[in-house]
Amino acid sequence: MLKSAVDAGAVDGCTKKRSLTVDGLSLEDNLNAFMSIKNITAEALKEQYMRMEL
């Protein structure tokens, strides 16, 4: 999706350059942040579900 956006003319919000980055961060950095948020959310939902079953 990022490549398609750049191919269509999108630019990085911080560098203002057409590159495969988001706000100056590489795709790998963005994926790591996304996975951290996903894992934190999954754990919070699991804890909430476990409390509901008690």
Task: Say if 51 falls within a structural domain.
Answer: yes
Whether 16 is in a domain gets the answer no
d(CA 39, CA 25): 20
- pLDDT tens for residues 10-29? 999 999 999 999 999 998 99
pLDDT tens digits, 24-46: 999 899 999 999 999 999 999 99
35 is a domain residue: yes
Q: Is 25 helix (H, G, I), strand (E, B) or coil?
A: strand
What pTM did the predictor assign? 0.65
Domain count, the chain: 1
- Domain annotation covers residue 37: yes
Q: Is residue 14 in some structural domain?
A: no
Q: Is there a domain that residue 1 lies in?
A: no
Q: Which domain holds residue 33?
A: 25-54
* Residue 12 phi, psi (nearest 5): -65, 135
Looking at the chain, which runs of residues are DSSP E strands? 21-22, 25-26
Residue 15 lies in a domain: no
Residue 54 is predicted with a pLDDT of 66
